[in-house]
Every structure is written in structure tokens, then in C-alpha cells.
């Protein structure tokens, strides 16, 4: 499968996430769009990993080229899980203080 297709799919997914962060005002949906962007990057990393492995695979079927990228994806997932737990705690705190999850209410931070 050409690598361009995977890059194209990841770029479109990432941009949908960017548009979501820019247009929606619900803090939870903004957070989900960030997860969408992280997953687009993960997909691209795995595709590039298989691209490098495929180049080595022709000459040496037992090569381990490309393993590092998949471990990067693993660490990205780990960091995303930690980030979600803290972020949702912040959203719960925001809801408890303002009774809304609209991020426009956060402009009171500037005072």
C-alpha cells in the first residue's frame, strides 16, 4: 500500500481534530478532538515504521528496523492515558465551579 495514502489519511484526521478544537466550545469535545489528533499521529508513525521495515525486509527478513517507531506509539498511548485522567479531573473541577463546560466561561481567568 503506498505510504502516501496513509499520510493523506493521517493528515485529514489530524485536520478534523484541529477544526474541532477551533470550532467547538464544549470542553469535553475539545478534549476528544485532541485524542483524535494523537491517534492520527500514531497511525502515521506505524505506517512509517512499516515503510522502513519493508525496505529492510526485502534483503533481510529477520531485521528489526522500525521497531522503535512502534514503541514510540506505545509511549504516546501511555502519556495520553495519563493526560486524560488529569484533564478530565480538571474538567470536573471546572464544572463544579461554573456549572458549565463551555470554555468561553474561562475568560474570567484574565482578571
Partner 1 sequence: MSTTVILFWFLSALALLGAMMVLISKNPVFSVLWLIVVFFAISGHYLLLNAQFLAIVNLIVYAGAIMVLFLFVIMLMNLNSNTEPQKNTWLKVAGAIAGGSFMLIMIDVLIDAKDMQTKTALIKEGNIGLIKNLGRVLYNDYLIPFEITSVLFLSAMVGAVVIGKKGEAPNQ
41 binds partner 1 (CB under 8 A): no
106 makes contact with partner 1 (CB under 8 A): no
Distance CA 5, CA 1 (A): 8
Residue selected from 34, 59, 60, 95 as contacting partner 1 according to rule CB under 8 A: 95
Q: What residues from 60 to 79 belong to the interface with partner 1 (CB under 8 A)? A: 64-68, 70-71, 73-75, 77-79
> What CA–CA distance (Å, rounded) separates 67 from 57?
13
CA angle, 26 as apex, 76 and 20 as ends, to 5°?
A: 55
Nearer to partner 1, 86 or 110 (CB): 86
Among 59, 60, 85, 107, indicate the residue that binds partner 1 (CB under 8 A): 85
Cell of 100: 458549565
Amino acid at each position: 500500500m503506498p505510504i502516501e495514502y496513509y499520510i493523506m489519511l493521517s493528515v485529514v484526521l489530524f485536520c478534523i481534530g484541529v477544526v474541532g478544537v477551533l470550532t467547538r466550545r464544549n470542553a469535553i469535545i475539545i478534549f476528544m478532538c485532541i485524542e483524535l489528533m494523537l491517534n492520527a499521529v500514531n497511525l502515521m508513525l506505524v505506517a512509517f515504521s512499516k515503510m522502513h521495515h519493508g525496505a529492510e525486509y526485502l534483503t533481510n527478513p529477520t531485521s528489526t528496523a522500525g521497531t522503535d517507531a512502534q514503541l514510540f506509539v506505545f509511549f504516546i498511548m501511555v502519556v495520553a492515558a495519563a493526560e486524560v485522567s488529569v484533564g478530565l479531573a480538571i474538567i470536573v473541577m471546572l464544572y463544579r465551579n461554573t456549572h458549565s463546560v463551555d470554555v468561553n466561561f474561562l475568560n474570567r481567568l484574565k482578571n
